[in-house]
Amino acid sequence: MGQVIVELKNITKFFGASKALDEINLQIEKEKFITFLGPSGCGKTTLLRIIAGFYEPDAGEITINNRRVENVPPYDRNTAMVFQEYALFPHMTVYQNVAYGLEVKNKNKTEIDAKVEEVLKLMQLSGMEKRYPNEMSGGQQQRVAVARALVMDPHALLLDEPLSNLDAQLRESVRVELRLIQKKLGLTAIYVTHDQQEALSMSDMIVVMNKGVIHQFGTPKEIYFCPRTRFVADFIGSTNLVDARVVKEDIPVVSYHGIHLQVKGNYEALVDQDVVVSIRPECIKINKVSKESNFNLPIKILHSMFLGEKVRYHVEDSYGKEWRVDSFDSGEEILEGSAYLNIQSEKSHLIQEQ
Amino acid sequence: MAEPVILEKQGLGFEFKQLIKEPPLVIALVVLFVLGFIFILYPLFKIIIIPQSSDWLRFFNEPQFLRAFQNTMFSSLLSTTTAVVAGFIYAYSMNYTDIPGKKFFRTVVLFPMMSPSVVTGLAFIILFGRRGFITYQVLGLKTDLYGWVGLWIVQSLAFFPLAYMTISAVLKSISPNLELAAQNLGANGFRLFRTVTFKLALPGVLSAFLLVAINAFADFGNPMLVGGNYRVLATEAYLQVTGAWDMPIAAVLSVMLVIPTLGVFLLQKYYLDNKSYVTVTGKPVSGLKRITVSPVTKWCLFAACSCIALLILSIFITILCVAVTKVFGVDYTFTLENFMEVFFRSDALINSWIVSFITAIGTTLLGLIIAFVVSRKKFPGRNLMDFGALLPLSLPGTFIGLALILAFNEGPFAITGSLAIIIVGLVLRQMPVGYRNAISGFKQIDKSIEEASANLGANSIVTFRRIVIPMLKNACSTCFVYSFMKSMNTLSTVIFLVSPQWMLASVSILNLADHGYYGKASATGIGMMVSILITFAIVRLIFKKKINLFEL
């Protein structure tokens, strides 16, 4: 494990009577790209703002770069932030915006000039020093906001849904760019988003949050393929949640109405325990004829949608459960009628019931 | 073992703890509270403590005092109603019709704003007084219109611009979409006006009514000039001080005057503000054209506006004519003597300019600082500070003036008769406007911009200096211009505070008019308007921004 740069211990925060954060514990390693992911109101922005110092937690400890900071005001934490609406100073030029933080720190003029120039070059903003924010496009403003934070050389770069105001295409290219810059500079970045694609594509680690608690902290792959809770499974991508009963413990095997399926589990499940299994739509194959397999379920196709790279099926089995299945074998689709579902055993996953 | 219960951090202790993290902010707050204590709380305390119980009883036992109270109520409500009705018609015509000459109409309204309200009274006595141009010269009447009738006419005219400005702002902020929607649903003409426009505007119109009422209650110059024997509380208090040096009864009268204004203020602040459908600070909805009225209505409104505009114009034409003739009504020889006298042989105009300039700077800064801490910081006593900053709005000028001389006549802060006490009085009087102006400025700035500044390492003081002030530059220039203009023109606040060394132009108009020097009084009035316009031009050069008086 690398050096921990930001550590949160038992962070709790109320807004009036409602608990916005409930005993959050988290260790963020240096030079990693961490994403707080969750639906709106899950507490992710609150947590970010607590790290920045805009809110004080009602309980808990925050350590940034080996220094306890609960009582340190925001201007003394060196956690530069990129705001959702950018919050550029409208009365200052690009140069003045970026230089502001350094000037406040009373750095000398030549040093400021050099640093600002370097960062503007990095963000491909050279030549725009004299422009005012309202003379720039949304994408350019966003670059200025990032430059203004980068120039501070922060212990952790905080990003609060910085891409939400960009159009879809630009968002995609900025994602890549941000990630490359973060790697190049060896920055620790804490990124807040509600967009799972963004989280999966950019992060080293993802913190999935809901209603003020952390549901899972893991790599994008762990989050996607091994969701720990029903919420994570449901929130990230789409999935089929299947009620089943454990029939074998060591290598877990569950039974769904008598049909056995070997699954993965990250906790000990006991025989005869009722469990929920998450199966991603793309991990299911749909066949016209029954195949020799450990999971072979007859179904009826309710509806199929052609989505370009894949076909999404809504099907129903004989027990009345609806399944979602994605098929990427373009050209040989079975678009209606009866068929069989075939599941690859290692792609199914036991999740903890909340 | 039971787990410790975690509770939300809040309350006084927590707010104190937060404050101590920022020492410069603590110092600023302490200074503000000390200032508030010395210049608001202490004078209020003094004016209430000085009268004995026998003085309070005198108010109820001596008929002249009760009559003054009744007179104040009657004449103020009468002229307020008239001004608001006229203001509404005028504002409606400007915003809902395409009558010709709108620019002219809008400009005419600015004249009374830029001159002291006594100028209206002055023109009135010149035209309708005992030796009035119209009553005596033209009609040959021996009668005059002193008393409540004259006061009614003069105050209605004097407060009309205020009513118009406030109501116009309300009408502007009604979204045309709502009216279009109503029209789309079949409402039209008068029905549309009655069911939508008027209903939406009503809370704002009521606010305007209360605002004008407070000003009418507190008006001093006009009752003094045209009231004759019809005395109101403000003039009665003044006459008690100057005639009998009876401070206690003057204090009682002033407190009695505060009771209605304070009532109105509280009503407005805590009741009406919450009922309003429109936010006056909101951005006007652009791009949509309002539905205009029928041709008949349009020309009726045009006629009404023309009458009002002509009345206002006649005041200023009269003043100008009087100022440039030797003895108006007797000797019509052209002369610049009156102007020479006013500009070069009297300090009043210069004094007024200096006093108003300092006041305007003080008001702007103080309003900005208080608005910053109240709207952006959490500290114990925040609501108290908000209340204290708005309170002077409800205090009549004569009340503030009297309270200040009572408080600072002696003791450690004996500043009566100095320049300082005039400025203190004026800053107190104008601060609420600056404060409100700045508050609405802050509402338009996203809080994240200041957070960004803190995030980049700037403490509250640096953020205030480098981010807040530059961003509120426009609000500041508006506030500066407004309080400068108001300070130049106010009479009631300074009437008790001026001294022979520090005579001000507005008081000098009253004195000159009282002694029949109408030429010099008129020239002073015009001199004030000219110096206000020159100052506007300077501010415009500095801020490189056109001053829009309609924004005030």
Which of the pair, B416 or A150, is modelled with greater confidence? A150
Residue recorded with tokens 């514990």: A25
Least CB–CB distance from A85: residue in B8, B448, B467: B448
* Arithmetic mean of pLDDT, B499-523: 87
d(C-alpha B526, C-alpha A142), whole Å: 54
Q: Which CATH superfamily is domain A238-351 in?
A: Nucleic acid-binding proteins (2.40.50.140)
The enclosing H or E element of A207 equals strand A205-210
Token digits of residue B113: 């704003």
User: What confidence score (pLDDT) does residue B103 get?
Assistant: 87
Residues belonging to chain A with any Cβ–Cβ distance to chain B shorter than 8 Å: 12, 14-16, 52-54, 56, 58-59, 71, 73-76, 78-81, 83-85, 87-91, 100-101, 104-105, 148-149, 152
Nearest to B452 among A59, A83, A91 (CB): A83
Question: Are B456 and A78 in contact (CB < 8 Å)?
Answer: no
Per CB-CB distance under 8 Å, the chain A contacts of B446 are 85, 87
Q: Identify which of A56, A89, A105 has the shortest CB distance to residue B449.
A: A89
The partner residue sitting opposite B455, judged by closest CB among A14, A74, A90, is: A74
Q: How far apart are CA A192 and CA A207, in angstroms?
A: 10
Mean pLDDT, residues A104-129: 91
Task: Give CA–CA dist A182/B460, Å, rounded.
Answer: 30
The tokens of A4 are what?
């921990």
Instruction: Output the average pLDDT for chain A.
Output: 87
Which tokens belong to B168? 């116009």
Q: Contact at 8 Å (CB) between B407 and B388?
A: no
CB B506 within 8 A of CB B348: no
Residues of B within an 8 Å Cβ radius of A: 6-9, 18, 21-22, 446, 448-449, 451-459, 462, 466-467, 470-471, 473
Rounded-to-integer distance, Cα B434 and Cα A331, Å? 72
Q: Which among B6, B451, B467 has CB closest to A12?
A: B6
Q: Which of B18, B456, B459 sits opposite A101 (nearest CB)?
A: B456
- Asked if pLDDT for residue A321 goes beyond 80, the answer is yes
Tell if the CB–CB gap between B457 and A75 is shorter than 8 Å: yes
Lowest mean pLDDT among A158-162, A219-223, B535-539: B535-539
Neighboring chain A residues of B456 at a CB cutoff of 8 Å? 75, 80, 100-101, 104, 148-149, 152
Average pLDDT, chain B: 82
Which of B9, B455, B457 shows the shortest C-beta gap to A56? B9
Task: Name which of B209, B197, B199 is nearest B268 in CA terms.
Answer: B209
Instruction: From chain A, pick out residues whose CB is under 8 angstroms from the CB of B21.
Output: 71, 73
Q: Please give the CATH number for the structural domain made up of A4-232.
A: 3.40.50.300
Residues in B touching A89 (Cβ below 8 Å): 449, 452-453, 467, 471
Q: Are A58 and B6 within 8 A, CB to CB?
A: yes
**Correct CATH for B60-335 of 3.10.20.520, 1.10.3720.10, 1.10.10.10, 3.90.1560.10:** 1.10.3720.10
> For residue A81, which residues of chain B lie inside 8 Å, CB to CB?
451-452, 455
Minimal CA–CA distance to B42: which of B492, B408, B410, B498? B408
Out of A87, A104, A148, name the one closest to residue B448 (CB). A87
Calculate how close chain A gets to B452, using CA atoms only, in Å: 6
Task: Provide the pairing of β-strand B331-334 with B325-327.
Answer: antiparallel
Chain B residues in contact with A16 (beta carbon < 8 A): 8
Mean pLDDT in residue range A124-148: 91
A276 confidence band (pLDDT: 50, 70, 90): confident
Cα–Cα distance for residue pair B214/B222, rounded to 1 Å: 15
Q: Where in chain A is the domain with CATH 2.40.50.140?
A: 238-351
Indicate whether B15 pLDDT > 90. Answer: no
Q: What is the separation of C-alpha B325 from the centre of its chain, rounded to a whole number of angstroms?
A: 32
Of B458, B467, B471, the CB nearest to A75: B458
Which of A204-213, A343-352, B487-496 is the most confident on average? Answer: A204-213
Q: How far is CA A175 from CA A85, A147, B348, B373, in A?
A: 17, 15, 68, 39
* Single-letter amino acid, residue B287: G
B chain contacts of residue A79, beta-carbon cutoff 8 Å = 455
Side chain identity at B182, as an amino acid letter?
A
> In which band, very low, low, confident or very high, does the pLDDT at B292 lie, cut at 50, 70 and 90?
low
Q: Find, among B274, B251, B312, the residue nearest to B104 by Cα.
A: B312
Checking if the pLDDT of A287 tops 70, the result is yes
The pLDDT assigned to B96 comes to 83
User: B475: Cβ–Cβ under 8 A, 6 or more apart, which residues?
Assistant: B437, B438, B440, B441
User: Cα–Cα distance between A81 and A352 in angstroms, integer?
Assistant: 35
| Chain B residue nearest residue A104, CA to CA | B458
Task: Give the pLDDT band (50/70/90) at residue A293.
Answer: low
Nearest CA in chain B to A12: B6
Best mutation target, A9, A64, A76, A91, to test chain B (most B CBs within 10 A): A91
Interface mutation target, options A58, A71, A104, A190, chain B, most CBs of B under 10 Å = A104
Which residue of chain B has the CA closest to A148? B456
Where does CATH 1.10.3720.10 sit in chain B?
20-49+337-552, 60-335
B20-49+337-552: which CATH number, 1.20.140.10, 3.30.70.890, 1.10.1530.10, 1.10.3720.10? 1.10.3720.10
- Reply yes or no on whether the pLDDT at B28 is more than 60: yes
Torsion angle, CA of A161/A163/A164/A168, rounded to 10 degrees?
Answer: -150
- For the stretch B107-161, pLDDT in tens is 888 888 888 888 888 888 888 877 777 776 677 666 667 788 888 999 999 899 8
Phi, psi for residue A274 in degrees, rounded to 5: -80, 130
pLDDT of residue B198: 81
Q: Do A105 and B457 touch (CB under 8 A)?
A: yes
pLDDT of residue A347 exceeding 80: no
CB of A87 closer than 8 Å to CB of A101: no
Query: With contacts defined as CB-CB under 8 Å, which chain B residues touch A84?
Result: 448
Q: Where do you find CATH 3.40.50.300 in chain A? A: 4-232
Overall average pLDDT of the B12-41 stretch: 81
Name the CA dihedral angle for B154, B157, B161, B164, rounded to a multiple of 10 degrees: 130
Instruction: Find, in chain B, the residue whose alpha carbon is nearest to that of A147.
Output: B456
